[in-house]
Structure 1
Amino acid sequence: MIKNVLFTLLTISLTSTIFISCTKSVDEKLEDLKKEKLAFEKKVAAIKNDSLRQQAKKFGGMLFWLQEIDLENERPPKDTVYDENPFVILNDYGSTSDLANNYLDGIIVEKDESRGDKIELKLHYPYVLPFAQKASWKSVKFNDNSSTDIIEDENDSLINRQVVRTNWNNEEGFDILYPDEKSYSAKPVSLNGSVEAQVPKAILKFTFASNERGDTKEQNGIKVKLAKVKGHAVSIEVENPNKTDPAVDTEKMDLVTILATDKAKKFLHQSGSSSGSGEMFDFYKKLLNEVVENPEKVTNLEKDLDKEQRKYDEKHKNMSYYSAYFKGTVDDVVVYVMDYSKATIRKKNFSLPVYPFKAEERAYNSTAPYQEVFEIPTFATAYDPAVSKLLSAKMELSAGELPGKIKIDQTSITSSSSAGDKEKWQVSFEYPEMMSSLFINNMFRYDGVKEAVFFEEKDGKQIAIPKDSIDYNNGEFNGTNPIVDFGSSSVNYDPARLPAKAKYLKGLIRVNLADIARSSYPVNKLPAGITVSGNKVMVNEAIVKDKIFVFAKNAAGKYLKKITSVSFKRDDNPGREINVDYYYGKPYLIECYTKKGDHLADYKFEVKLTYEEHKKEEKAKAK
């Protein structure tokens, strides 16, 4: 009984607390909720009937858990975090059917023999489809013409060869397990199965400007209302009178996606989402109060819930309610709705060849002059928006741009020494990721902190610290526990040992900046050492001596997505390699980036220290 109740609770989450006016802080509300939960658990523990006690505990626990999630969603984000629009891929193809067909054409199977006891097969897709897809992989064929069916779980008694489905890091793959060394000679040559894409009639985009709160927009008979926008939270209502095509399993996909941008028109990272209306929330609040007052009433909940659900469904026919929460303040809202009133099923049966993604090791004393460059062919074309974004931005900062672009973080760290562990406060400087970061690792971007001075006020008195208590990170410090120590990209200090409370830190860091040159070549006019064959771009290090990064565009002028990169040795001498990039698509134009030099620039910083605020927050949480 309780299982159906919990499923419904999860489906219709408590979403309206974000819009309830309350003078209490989120932490205070959570503390009140914690006290309510403890009182409830005491009442539940007193129930003598074991089955009833477990039922009440499970149901009440779920209600409290959902309320806790809602309160956490109410908490404003500390930092703004950006994300990409997953639907931008729709702009790259003529139609959703073209997108699906290209996706099916672009599936590649990698064979990894780096593990001596097994062979791994890894699936590579050209991109993530924005609508539903379903894979059904059946068997693996081997070079001795044998075939082995795929199983879900490994059989402990490994008498015969097994192909076991895996899902490491949410990536589908297969482990081929061999019973003995002799059977290991049979190598996989193809993966057999099918993939089905469920293409919607249309993917509808509804855009709401910041001043359109409360407005309703309509496409294909589907209406979307921007109900509320408050800080980092968005609530919408969707009315869809169209019946869903029975071929589509709507339980396994998101029919509605809410995105948001801030005032900079950059997409915000979504931190949470939920579905359901405030009306249902009120009912669940009532249920929770009843359970808290009298846990034995849990036996009537299923009947009450079913009755209320039927009333709700009848009243809100064709209506759905959604909320989303973002890492930043919402300005504009974009809603995507899948119109599945008619679906087109694109299904393709496969016998996919498997390919190595690593150069084979040459046998000892091999007479072969080099490792053979292999093919990884594809019939699909896929683009890389991340590369496009990277290369359309500035390649490097100027000295004058450093103060506005370097991010300053402050945090508490633990410093260990012979005197024991000590808390220190760290001020760190983070260089932005950009083209130059390919040539200069941002971890080693700085030539070290050269100056750091603490002040009691912004323009106030300087705090004098003995020089023998400062570790300048130059190898000259002879002590064991400095008050202040300089890192390559940070200043760490012990606030408890400073002569006075520090509110500001001023200083100087030297930053390494790269001088980058960019050049472009059509594939029929490439410089010596760079060649293109099929979907491969090859750079011969014996000819191209400088460190170089190459990117490929197709005839449409879009940056192609890499399948993988592999280095092949040409002889026994180190550094004599051919580096090969494999692409989804046919390269037409090659862009080359090289570092012509670098130089140091002074970055002067002024930081308002937040240590005292941090300690106050810690004390408030501890109460």
Structure 2
Amino acid sequence: MAASISAGQKPINRNQIHYLRVCQSVFLLVSESLEQLNDIGQEAWRMDLRLPLAGTGLCIAVLLSSGCSPSEEKQQVSLEQKTAQFEQSLDAIQDPKLKDAIADLGGSLLLLERAQLRLKNKPIETEYGDDALALLKHYPSPQALVDTYLNGLFVLRKTSNSDYLTDLQPVFPFSFNMPAQFPFPHGLEWQSVTLSNGKVITFQPEWSETDPGIQLSPSSSNLTNPDDLTVTYPFIEGVEVENKDQPQPVTLQGKAEVIAPHQVLTFELGKADIGKQRSDKNVSVKLLSLDKNSAEIELTNSAPLSPELSETPLNPLLVQARDTTGQILSRSGSINENSQQIAFYAKQLAEMQKQKAWSQAFEQQLEEERKTFEREQHSHYTKVYFNGLIDKLEVNVLDFSGATVTRKDLNLPVRRFDPLTTDSKIQPLPMPVVVYDDQAPNYLKGANLDEETLKKSVVVHQSTEDASAARIEFDHPKTFNDELLGTSFSTSDSPVTFFTQNENGKRGEPIELPSEAVEVDPLRSSITYDLTLFPETPAYAVGAIPLFLASIEKKALPVSQLPKGLELRGNALVVDQRLFPAEAWRFYAKDSSGQYLKEILAVSHEAPAKGSASFDVHYFYGQPSELETYQRSELNTVEYGFEVKLDKLENPPPAE
């Protein structure tokens, strides 16, 4: 195996980088989407990334954070009993190191059991996702993707309302809200910031209240982006200190590391491949099972891994599934530990629980056992669950035999591009890399949205928590069409009538109501009603609510034939707002390959004085050769007729 390492550079401390945020426990879970962290119990989990659990408190909270369906009830009771017993056993442990080690491993095993239960019993509801390898398909080799990531990174100075804080936002050429969007192990360490007076401020992992000087530390204002930083200036009580008098950040220093696989191999599998081994070069995959919405796969790589990567928890499998429509199903979760691995760590947990105290000798014994066990593992296992019925599987193998480790020292200029400015000067933002927008083609289908499709997409939600403000909401998935609706809405009356329920459980008589009992908000597609003003209990609501649909005209323009009001300056498109107002126009750029370029950022240059021109500037990763323009030609109102069976009041008022 050949590992290529840049000369003269030391490896990043891998405990601090994205792909190695690891604690002692083996079974660490992260949700498929950051949004799911707010409702862990309602969503499935997976084990692709290894992020630290915050001790047993989080383990227990996660395990008990949701209800269960009837089919899960018996298993759920057993799991809760196990959890309670485990928590009680922790209370009896006196040695803090031993207690922490047992909490980590035992809590993770319980969390794994919870994940297995949730994934197994999750209803099969079709949901489509993106191609996890679309990013790689744009570049001739894995290393070219790595180079694009490293060379496309820059730093923005963010606007701030404070004179004592300056936020810095590293801008990556690829999105990181889903791990598959950059499929290779990668890490970033910030080291220092150089100020305009030449002073270098060293990075510190957290802000110190007692440090009297200027500090560089992680930002506390944006928890969803762990790479954001804040330069904090000392606060002097009673003295106004403005940013213009402070030395400003000029460059940000750090180092990055990316591990690129030697090659990426793809296998297409179906039911006929169950139990069979498929091979390509040094890589073999076996489909162990294929159910309606899940698949078990085993990977074997006959080529050895570099000793340098032996402690790196690489995930070499990216598994995707398509249904009979040919579309890619989104994943609901995955588990990457087979029964033998689970049994081994359960055995280690049992050994821990027999101890009275933690010792260095016992820790070394566990570590030697772990290393011996892992040396005996010659395959990689995963069980993946999908949101929908599987027709075909696509198994992508990242072959890390012959991997290339690229390390780069970063010295990035801090740029300022405020979203809104009165400066008439257009700043250049040259970009040495090309990045494509893979979401654009699907998103722009919304330009052709028709009335029938819009109506069919409506989902009715009800809220009956407050008797005086019960609500009915008519929601629909937001599309590109919504982006061009503008603000000039014309709404007519939106009639709604409430009915009782008759003896047959059907719609009964209409209810006469005072006008203040019902409020219709057509712009938000919602109805609020005050049940305390109803003479009878309503069972049905019948009426119509307006939806809005833009008529959108699309044109393709070569950059050599742009009309007045559109100008291309390098990778920047300048749009005159007098001729192409943002409320009614959108612009997408393609390069010579015919693919959509990803937009880096946009700046609105507002007119400093009345009567002078204002314009927008859109910056792209790459050189546009063609523009697609989308113009709203008119705004249409669509009447959505409804009959809604009303939910019963959740908290009925006490009887008088």
TM-score (norm 2): 0.74
Report matched runs for 1:162-311 at 5 Å.
162-166=215-219, 168=222, 169-179=224-234, 184-248=245-309, 251-281=312-342
Report matched runs for 1:326-475 at 5 Å.
326-358=386-418, 371-391=424-444, 393-404=445-456, 406-415=457-466, 417=468, 424=470, 427-440=472-485, 449-451=494-496, 461-468=506-513
Query: What letter is aligned with 1:395?
Result: A
Q: Distance in 1 between matches of 2:505 and 2:384?
A: 45
> 1:258·1:336 contact (CA, 8 Å) conserved in 2?
yes
Aligned residues: 572
How far residue 384 of structure 1 moved from its aligned partner, in angstroms, is 0.9
Deviation larger for 302-311 or 533-542: 302-311
3-state SS of 1:77 partner: coil
**Corresponding residue to 1:126 among 173, 176, 179:** 173
Query: What letter is aligned with 1:26?
Result: E
How far residue 573 of structure 1 moved from its aligned partner, in angstroms, is 1.8
Is residue 319 of structure 1 aligned with residue 379 of structure 2?
yes
Is residue 153 of structure 1 aligned with residue 202 of structure 2?
no
3-state SS of 1:85 partner: coil
Q: What does the per-residue CA deviation read over 1:480-526, in whole Å, with 9 as the maximum and x for residues that have no partner? A: xx6x9776524567999897895x87653332221111222222211
> 2:132·2:318 contact (CA, 8 Å) conserved in 1?
no
Tell me what 1:7 maps to: 25
Q: What does the per-residue CA deviation read over 1:104-161, in whole Å, with 9 as the maximum and x for residues that have no partner? A: 2211111225342122221111115321223343332333344333333334344433
Cα distance change on mapping 1:592 and 1:59 into 2, 3 Å: closer
Tell me what 1:367 maps to: none
Deviation larger for 437-446 or 107-116: 437-446
Query: What letter is aligned with 2:513?
Result: D
How far residue 57 of structure 1 moved from its aligned partner, in angstroms, is 7.2
Report matched runs for 1:28-177 at 5 Å.
28-38=74-84, 62-77=108-123, 79-114=125-160, 115-128=162-175, 129-166=182-219, 168=222, 169-177=224-232
Q: Distance in 2 between matches of 1:51 and 1:583?
A: 52
How far residue 579 of structure 1 moved from its aligned partner, in angstroms, is 0.5
Unaligned 5+ runs, structure 2: 1-21, 30-44, 48-68, 176-181, 235-240, 652-656
> 2:419·2:602 contact (CA, 8 Å) conserved in 1?
no
Cα distance change on mapping 1:523 and 1:220 into 2, 3 Å: same
How far residue 559 of structure 1 moved from its aligned partner, in angstroms, is 1.1
Q: Distance in 2 between matches of 1:153 and 1:47?
A: 32
Deviation larger for 335-344 or 256-265: 256-265
3-state SS of 2:184 partner: coil
TM-score (norm 1): 0.77
Q: Distance in 2 between matches of 1:566 and 1:64?
A: 49
How far residue 175 of structure 1 moved from its aligned partner, in angstroms, is 1.8
**Corresponding residue to 1:594 among 619, 628, 631:** 631
Is residue 516 of structure 1 aligned with residue 532 of structure 2?
no
Q: Distance in 2 between matches of 1:185 and 1:43?
A: 55
Q: Distance in 1 between matches of 2:306 and 2:330?
A: 31
Deviation larger for 342-351 or 295-304: 295-304
Q: Distance in 2 between matches of 1:352 and 1:46?
A: 52
Cα distance change on mapping 1:309 and 1:195 into 2, 3 Å: closer
- Structure number having the greater strand percentage: 1
> 2:46·2:334 contact (CA, 8 Å) conserved in 1?
no
Deviation larger for 443-452 or 459-468: 443-452
Query: What letter is aligned with 1:536?
Result: A
Query: What letter is aligned with 1:401?
Result: T
Cα distance change on mapping 1:478 and 1:383 into 2, 3 Å: same
Root-mean-square deviation (CA, aligned residues, Å) is: 4.3
Query: What letter is aligned with 1:199?
Result: A
> 1:541·1:575 contact (CA, 8 Å) conserved in 2?
no
> 2:46·2:333 contact (CA, 8 Å) conserved in 1?
no
Q: Distance in 1 between matches of 2:535 and 2:325?
A: 40
Unaligned 5+ runs, structure 1: 16-22, 363-369, 470-476, 619-623
**Corresponding residue to 2:605 among 568, 574, 579:** 568
How far residue 340 of structure 1 moved from its aligned partner, in angstroms, is 0.9
Tell me what 1:474 maps to: none
Cα distance change on mapping 1:157 and 1:287 into 2, 3 Å: closer
Deviation larger for 50-59 or 588-597: 50-59
Bigger Rg, structure 1 or 2: 1
Q: What does the per-residue CA deviation read over 1:384-409, in whole Å, with 9 as the maximum and x for residues that have no partner? A: 11222222x251433333443x2324
